[in-house]
C-alpha cells in the first residue's frame, strides 16, 4: 500500500534559520503530494500541494519539489519565524483511490525560538 516517511520527529530552530524537512513516499500510483501544517489546538490545514512530477509548490515562503526520481517531497523555508512553530505533515493523495483521502507521514514538530 501507499506510505509516507518523515524521519525527523522534531526540529528545533532559531528565527531566521533555514528549515528542511525530509519526506519520501512509496506508491504504485501517480499521486498528488501535499504538505499540511497543524498549529497548536487546530486541525491540519493545507500548506501546499503539487500534482505533477518535477513541479514545485510554493506557499507562505515554504516550497517543496515533487521529485519522482527519488520519490521525495522535502519541505524547505529559507528563514523561519516563531509563528512557523507547528507540526508539519507530508501526505499523499492517490489518483486511483482518491475517495479514501490522504495517507500521512508521522509529522515533524518544528519549534522556532526567538
Partner 1 sequence: EAAVTQSPRNKVTVTGGNVTLSCRQTNSHNYMYWYRQDTGHGLRLIHYSYGAGNLQIGDVPDGYKATRTTQEDFFLLLELASPSQTSLYFCASRDRDWDTEVFFGKGTRLTVV
The residues of the shown chain that bind partner 1, judged by CB under 8 A, are 32, 41-46, 49, 51, 89, 93, 95, 98-102, 104-107
By C-beta, is 54 or 79 nearer to partner 1?
A: 54
Q: 45 vs 8, 9, 35, 68, 88, CA distance in Å?
A: 20, 19, 9, 24, 10
CB of 67 to partner 1, least distance (A): 20
By C-beta, is 50 or 112 nearer to partner 1?
A: 50
By C-beta, is 59 or 78 nearer to partner 1?
A: 59
By C-beta, is 40 or 114 nearer to partner 1?
A: 40
CB of 71 to partner 1, least distance (A): 18
Q: 91 vs 17, 48, 73, 74, 102, CA distance in Å?
A: 24, 10, 9, 11, 6
CB of 44 to partner 1, least distance (A): 5
Amino acid at each position: 500500500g501507499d506510505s509516507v516517511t518523515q524521519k525527523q520527529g522534531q526540529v528545533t530552530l532559531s528565527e531566521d534559520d533555514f528549515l528542511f524537512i525530509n519526506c519520501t513516499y512509496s506508491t504504485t500510483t501517480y499521486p498528488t503530494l501535499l504538505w499540511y501544517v497543524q498549529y497548536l489546538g487546530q486541525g491540519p490545514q493545507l500548506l501546499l500541494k503539487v500534482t505533477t512530477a518535477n513541479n514545485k509548490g510554493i506557499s507562505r515562503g515554504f516550497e517543496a519539489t515533487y521529485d519522482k526520481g527519488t520519490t521525495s517531497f522535502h519541505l524547505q523555508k529559507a528563514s523561519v519565524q516563531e509563528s512557523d512553530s507547528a507540526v508539519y505533515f507530508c501526505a499523499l493523495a492517490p489518483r486511483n483511490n482518491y475517495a479514501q483521502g490522504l495517507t500521512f507521514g508521522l509529522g515533524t514538530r518544528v519549534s522556532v525560538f526567538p
